[in-house]
Amino acid sequence: TNLNILIQRSNHTQATSEPPEVTVFPKEPVELGQPNTLICHIDKFFPPVLNVTWLRNGQPVTEGVSETIFLPRTDYSFHKFHYLTFMPLTDDVYDCKVDHWGLDKPLVGHW
């Protein structure tokens, strides 16, 4: 099974934490008032444990949020996508806040 493969891979890697890289970008070209999806790509991290929060103008957003499973990379680290459906408005600021063992403080991807 996939889980057994992941466990085996984990046992073969050093027990160090690899902190993630975070990139936030829109799925479609942004037009004000047109529904869109923000994508938060969390990349090159280990172990596969994350806490991810979407923020709009500094406030947590829970509606319209989805995510993929942890996706293995060829170098034993992982990547993952988090999605937020949103309506672009002039003054709104969006952040994807990622907390991981390899980070001293949460990493924020800004859009």
pTM: 0.84
What is the CATH number for 11?
2.60.40.10
Q: Locate 88 and state its tokens.
A: 């672009």
C-beta separation of 37 from 24 below 8 A? no
Instruction: Report the pLDDT averaged over residues 57-68.
Output: 97
Quote the domain boundaries for residue 27.
2-110
Q: How many helices (H) and strands (E) does the chain have?
A: 1, 9
How many structural domains does the chain have? 1
Provide the pLDDT confidence category of residue 8 given band limits of 50, 70 and 90.
low
- Provide the token pair at 12: 């073969």
pLDDT of residue 16: 81
In this prediction, residues 75-94 reach a mean pLDDT of: 96
Averaged pLDDT, 61-83: 97
Q: Please give the structure tokens belonging to residue 96.
A: 């994807």
Q: Residue 50's pLDDT is what?
A: 96
